[in-house]
Structure 1
Amino acid sequence: MGKAGTPLELSLDEPVMLDIEMEAREDIPAELEAFVRLARLGRIENALDWYGKCLQRRERMFPVLAEYAEMLLQEGLHDKLVDLLDDTNANSVTALHDTNSTEVSQLLKFMRILAIIRWKGMPPGEKLSTAMKCWDYLKEICVGKVDQRQQLSPVQIHMVEVYLGIAVEAFDSDLSRERNKFTNPPWTPPGSPRWTGFCAWYTELRKQGLHWQAQKIQGILLPVVEFEVAMNTLIRRDQFAAVAKDIAEQHFDESLVITELIASNSICEYLMQRTPPSIILAEAYLKASHSLKQVLSQHISVEDVEHARTLLRVDEL
């Protein structure tokens, strides 16, 4: 120990490791949950303020960085996301609990690739080859687990979603049948039609109760799949079964209601933008959105009701 009155000496030649358990004892899960809630409600300015006050100093901890990066990606703040990840050494990000640090690093790389493609663009050849490399990595880490009917980890599920975004950017206008496999997850049977493997993945996520993750897959797929495929897989008669069951049992799951409201809004918008528009079906989903908004409004603050973009969107449709 150092002498009384003298500072503890640290060797600057050795990396200084933070006491992660001490950090975790602070209320990170609650603070992160509050940030995610604000982001999903569409209260982005409030989410950013909350992040700056409560979470920014911990952004090198994986769940914090991932959720912040996801919000930037969803909001189209691609330049900020690229700057964030360029300033972050992926190897220095702390993955809590049993999260695979290598996969965390790869997820961040996937997110950076997608942000660059959407922000600056990428030469077609480079974009295709980059997407193929991402697909190859997913094949390496996921196919064995899927074949053995093991569930993917949260990081792997997130990586599949980000890859889908990359694949849509790279392959939606690419009609080469030789590259069709890259429009589906690596575990999809050979010869499957474009995007159908991801439609099946959407269904699987819902079966697992991962409604938020499924909703994000749905939102990416709706603009690129054939209408018949969308109607058979992404626009489902049982879309709101879980919410209806909760309401019938007088149980309120705010996250689930927000998720299904976002999905209903997206489906309604998709149906209205078709040529010709599917008016009757769109009206049915608009009615569902109003119902979900009403349910939310009974349980959240007046401020949320008045400022949450997710709720305000219902009146814009």
Structure 2
Amino acid sequence: MSNKEILEAYRLFDRASSGDYRAKAEMVESLTTSDFPQLLGRGFNTKLAAAYQAVTPVWSQYSTRTTVQNFKPQTYKQLLGYNGLELVPEATEYPAGDFAETQFEFQARKYGRRLGLTFEMIVNDELGAFRNIHETLAQAARDLEGTATADALLNGKRSDVNTDFFKAANGNAPESAALTRESLQAAIETVSQKRDVNGRPLVRPNLVLVVPPALEFTARAIVGASEVRVTNGNTQVTSSNALAGAVTVVVDPNLMRSTHAKAAKTWFLLPAPNTARPALVTAFMSGRETPDLRYRNDQGNRVGGGSIPVGEGSFDDDTIQYRVRHIVGAAAIDPTFTFVSRGN
């Protein structure tokens, strides 16, 4: 089966979807051959992959991408510190030391949807709804990734922040300060004072400020201004903005899936992705990292013998079934450089 055949099958479907009556007639005839749905399915899969890659995910701005080999819980290990280098006197054996380490668990899960294309839909001129199916499914896959990643910041019921992660024992218990210049500066100063297991100061990584849409312009005004004006009595003083460029603002609408009353006011300070101590990971299965679209050929056989054309539909419900699958998972893992406030 050549790429040319796949492309021709998809182009035929595309022309039929655009209202080309001749293409519709050709497609009805093509559906009676056993290879057309397979050709069309491969064409969709190519289009789906292209559309999927064209959508830039928000989650990639604050979560570290990783791959796994299976659905089992995965272990993410980090070397958290060592005792440092010691003076080695002449002709003296080097002192031994061990790395301290910790580990976090996460796993990928399988998601999908089945869609049915029927002969009646073709005859009744209802193909227009399927013209951009690859774009719809690609966006659905990206939405799934975004939802899974944002959900790692929330509890299982999306009724509050993830208090198994944001808690006093992790040094990042939820605060109740509104997003202001002063509160953001205080949060940055807080995470800048973190130490490793041996008590040595850690170098603060680049930070991202993750906010819901309701806080977008507040966040951008705080870190985007080059100057700030402060009134002291009757005197107004202008100075450079110390927070200009201090963090990268990320606006994630998925945070509004939370049902808690202060969801629109809640803001997160996280390390940028791919740093040494990532707060979040978003996992994909190796070799299955993009959405997969397939068709099912299960029309059965006639009682009197002889095969039944695929265009007659499934044995179960007279449809030509297409199925999309996407494997993804996300988890909050390292709380070191994290901060959250529910607002006031």
Q: TM-score range by the shorter chain?
A: under 0.3
Greater per-residue strand proportion: 2
TM-score (norm 1): 0.22
Greater RCO, CA 8 A, separation 6+: 2
Task: Flag the structure with larger Rg.
Answer: 2
TM-score (normalised: structure 2): 0.21
